[in-house]
Structure 1
């Protein structure tokens, strides 16, 4: 079995990314603090290179490949954010990138990927198997850059946790909890490793769209379970079939739990982010904020960090 990344891997990823990524700040809103009865600190990865956290993992993964492997090009599948991260990273390394994207992915994201020089291969997210779609390029020797279930990807996303904990210390606060959007689990697993290393008592929560709460149900059952077909959500960026094998192994040890949020709650969270934080956050990036209204996370008198993963 693949060895999950540890804190040393995340620190190495931070060194590779130094000078290339935006160290996104911690911000807060007096109005939201008042509403939730605690201190809520937001980490807006919407301000990150390519508009989401995904650049961190993608660049770290490409950095981990040998020059020969990179030279043959890279291939990925993504609904948009990972695609943009891979395309940007491939352009920086000067290598070819082929990215399979759902035909219904946001047109702006598809356009951005093409502008960065990557080839886009459309597919049907509900009917087509992603690995089957990219198989012809893998057979040509191109390296796969997975969206979440990969040690280098997880370590790259974990650099958010390093920043988050250092920024909290600089503010003189101890975090009672961290709430993280979750699709396949790469972001939550990576951040959880860094958070737990710095503060074992800090609770780490995942937030997922209703009907796509595979991590929540997997945690309850003690093993990976897939989402039931036939549902849709506005949270297109984090609609995955089931948790990753590596990500779930980390999350089952580190997470306090996972919260499923409705599209209605997510839409309200997007309005709150715009009104009180002056940030445009996409639905999938806002489920952590939406989870604060669930009543499942203790907020009263607490200091809680929420990752806004993309916009």
Structure 2
């Protein structure tokens, strides 16, 4: 994918995670901080690039992905290819390798990575939803229906964000970040959590709104969509869970189930809102940053980390009775429907 777009997205994630400290700085200071952070990121890649095992190479690839003009031997392509060639690399590496492609050439996602995932992660609905989106774009409805059936029969939905978070959290501490990039009160952990969570947020994702539209518009696939929805409600990400709840709300004929799905989506919105508040505080709260990094190092999924972080910080999993998502929450919350 185009490096300029990745860099823009990374900077947006970075600044959104630490917007309060950055808001008080003038443009020159902010630019200097960004340049120093990019230099630190390059140093981390240089330290990790000589490694031979998959997890450090995955971390190096994720760190290199947003860098402008990296050396060819340590750019995203070179590093993710080496990670994919490492013994026991697992599907999490091939999932990130999906992004090793050129949108302008129309070759996204990476065909070799997708083919590998269809074999090594055939029980993962995320793989088939990714392929479904590809087939819908190609106008192949029959293949899209087959993809949907495979997704509905899968055992889990995992977009491997948890694995990317783990790889980054395990390796961003190999070098001490310069004081020039640290935020007041956050120390080294503050900038490490910014790198970890902002870079992991660029994880490849299936485009889910077309799935919702297919399920809403095509009566022939309703049964598969209901089965898929049940699976997605236990998916690895808020996006997947949101789609699963949306499918139950729109496809289940039982009004009680529809209402329960609406209630569960409100709970999910609260969890996303509360976790976003935690990550926004972390750059200037060293203890919170260390705690989030420790959770990320344990592995799991994006949702398991979210729930563990809320519990660890005494934040209820369910919202107060009077709480409703704000307009900002609605804009940031996972959306599954195209309507």
Determine which structure has greater relative contact order: mean sequence separation of CA pairs < 8 Å that are 6+ residues apart, divided by chain length: 1
TM over 0.5: no
* TM-score between the two structures when normalised by the length of structure 2: 0.26
**Structure that is richer in strand per residue:** 1
Larger Rg over CA atoms: 2
* TM-score between the two structures when normalised by the length of structure 1: 0.28
